[in-house]
């Protein structure tokens, strides 16, 4: 009996092995290659980097006092901080903060964060006038360098078409001027300027300090139709140059529930008339000697003629000529890495500008006469050196203007 059981188990095992071997053979026949090799291609990017844009779209182009409009700013800059300025076309400057065409006079900036790529402001028309809206953003931008894609900080700007406000102002009553008072709360404003008198061109440095509530803005008006809105804090320094003589009322305005305005005055004179003074070149002894001689004429009047007698030779000092493409005069010599933030006009000289330069919130940035205003530029796009140097011309009217040169 045990031999029969053992034989049955033995036959069952052989049958099971036969089935397994058959299945394995069929699988091998269907898949002749038992293993496969996956080849990965490394990711590379090709310049130029993506183009970043800002569009500014008002909901209407013609309104009346009392009407409301929305202004939308859209960008493809990542994690952006949005700002909006209202430009009066009559002056080409930011609208008056004390007699605005739209309110709020200085819209507060917005930083929505995340993947939000557009924001809106709601504005109310107050009086007749024509404006356009300038939107600016700062945040992360994607660039391609050395075949690799990475993120860096950058900025972009754009503006709308004109928007006209017609009709009569909302308030037709004659405004009553009330004296400025300092509120009991944290809102305050102080500023000093130096020098406040002088001859044209007169550069005055204003140091402003203001305590703000929440996101209120501060504005410095220079009295000559120009001004600067500081919409993220009121602790900064402004530099402004007056090019015409006159008396200017300068005001520093902190906006809030109870506005605060501080004023001062700048007096600019035309200056005395300069009388050129002869400069004696070193080594020169004395001027040429002139001996008067009488030359008879046919008429009754004799003409006195001076005949110059040669004196010692004067040495001429050559007049330097400006090099084409180079800014002048040179403010200072810089080296990489270099970063500058602020307003003003400068000319920097550098033997090297490193791997890239970048700028934002500037009026102009040039390298050897080539315009690179508010853009990221790699070293491969730099113009040729002039006499072994790069000359960087920088101009910005705002304290948050920026230029950098990095390795």
Q: What is the pLDDT of residues 101-137, one digit of tens each?
A: 999 999 999 988 767 888 999 999 999 999 999 998 8
Out of 156-165, 204-213, 282-291, pick the least confident.
282-291
Query: Cα(305)–Cα(290) distance, rounded to whole angstroms?
Result: 10
pLDDT at 57 over 90: yes
pLDDT the model gives residue 180: 39
Is 50 exceeded by the pLDDT of residue 192? Answer: yes
As a whole number of angstroms, the distance between CA 190 and CA 357 comes to 36
* pTM assigned to the model: 0.35
Q: How far apart are CA 191 and CA 237, in angstroms?
A: 9
Residue with the larger pLDDT of the pair 259 and 184: 259
Confidence (pLDDT) at 220 = 80
Q: Which of 43, 111, 120 is nearest to 77 (CA)?
A: 111
Residues facing residue 187 across a β-bridge: none
Distances (CA, A) of 215 to 107, 135, 210, 232, 233: 9, 18, 12, 7, 8
- Taking 50 as the threshold, does the pLDDT of residue 39 lie above it? no
Are the C-beta atoms of residues 127 and 169 closer than 8 Å to each other?
yes
What is each CA distance from 252 to 127, 222, 236, 259, 389, in whole angstroms? 23, 9, 12, 11, 41
Q: Is the pLDDT of residue 284 over 80?
A: no
Q: Give the model confidence (pLDDT) of 251-276 as tens digits.
A: 887 766 556 778 888 898 987 655 45
Identify which of 329, 325, 343, 332 has the alpha carbon closest to the alpha carbon of residue 396. Answer: 343
Report whether pLDDT(147) > 80: no
Q: Once rounded to an integer, what is the mean pLDDT over residues 49-71?
A: 88
pLDDT at residue number 368? 92
pLDDT at 49: 59
Q: Output the pLDDT for position 64.
A: 92
Please give the pLDDT value at position 117. 84
List, for residues 344-374, the tens digit of each pLDDT value.
Answer: 999 999 999 998 998 888 999 999 999 999 8
Q: Which domains does the chain have, with CATH numbers?
A: 54-165 (2.20.130), 188-269 (2.60.40.10), 332-406 (no CATH)
pLDDT class of 315 with cuts at 50, 70, 90: very low
Q: Of all residues in the chain, what percent carry a pLDDT higher than 90?
A: 28
């Amino acid at each position: 009996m045990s031999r029969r059981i053992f034989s049955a188990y033995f036959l069952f095992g052989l049958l099971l092995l036969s089935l397994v071997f058959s299945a394995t053979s069929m699988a091998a026949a269907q898949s002749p290659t038992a293993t496969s090799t996956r080849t990965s291609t490394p990711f590379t990017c090709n310049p130029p980097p993506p183009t970043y844009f800002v569009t500014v779209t008002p909901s209407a182009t013609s309104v009346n006092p009392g009407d409301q409009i929305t202004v939308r700013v859209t960008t493809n800059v990542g994690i952006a901080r949005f700002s909006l300025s209202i430009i009066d076309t009559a002056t080409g400057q930011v609208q008056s903060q004390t007699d605005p065409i739209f309110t709020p006079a200085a819209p507060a900036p917005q930083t929505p964060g995340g993947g939000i790529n557009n924001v809106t402001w709601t504005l109310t028309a107050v009086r007749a006038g024509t404006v356009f809206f300038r939107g600016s953003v700062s945040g992360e931008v994607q660039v391609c360098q050395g075949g690799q894609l990475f993120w860096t900080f950058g900025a972009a700007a754009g503006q709308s078409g004109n928007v006209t406000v017609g009709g009569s102002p909302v308030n037709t009553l004659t405004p009553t001027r009330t004296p400025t008072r300092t509120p009991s709360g944290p809102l305050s404003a102080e500023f000093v300027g130096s020098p406040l008198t002088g001859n044209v061109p007169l550069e005055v440095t204003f140091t402003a300090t203001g305590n703000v509530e929440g996101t209120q803005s501060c504005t410095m008006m220079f009295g000559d139709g120009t001004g600067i809105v500081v919409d993220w804090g009121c602790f900064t320094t402004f530099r402004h140059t007056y090019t015409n003589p006159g008396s200017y009322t300068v005001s520093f305005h902190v906006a809030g529930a109870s506005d605060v305005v501080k004023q001062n005055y700048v007096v600019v004179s035309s200056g005395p008339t300069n009388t050129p003074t002869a400069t004696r070149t070193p080594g020169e002894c004395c001027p040429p000697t002139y001996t008067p001689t009488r030359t008879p004429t046919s008429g009754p009047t004799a003409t006195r003629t001076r005949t110059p007698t040669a004196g010692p030779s004067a040495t001429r000092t050559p007049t330097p000529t400006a090099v084409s493409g180079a800014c002048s005069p040179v403010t200072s010599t810089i080296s990489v890495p270099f970063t500058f933030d602020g307003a003003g006009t400068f000319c920097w000289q550098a033997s090297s500008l490193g791997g890239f330069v970048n700028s934002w919130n500037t009026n102009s940035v040039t390298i050897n006469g080539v315009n690179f205003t508010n853009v990221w530029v790699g070293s491969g796009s730099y113009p040729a050196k002039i006499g072994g140097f790069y000359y960087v011309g920088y101009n910005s009217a705002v304290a948050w203007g920026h230029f950098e040169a990095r390795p």
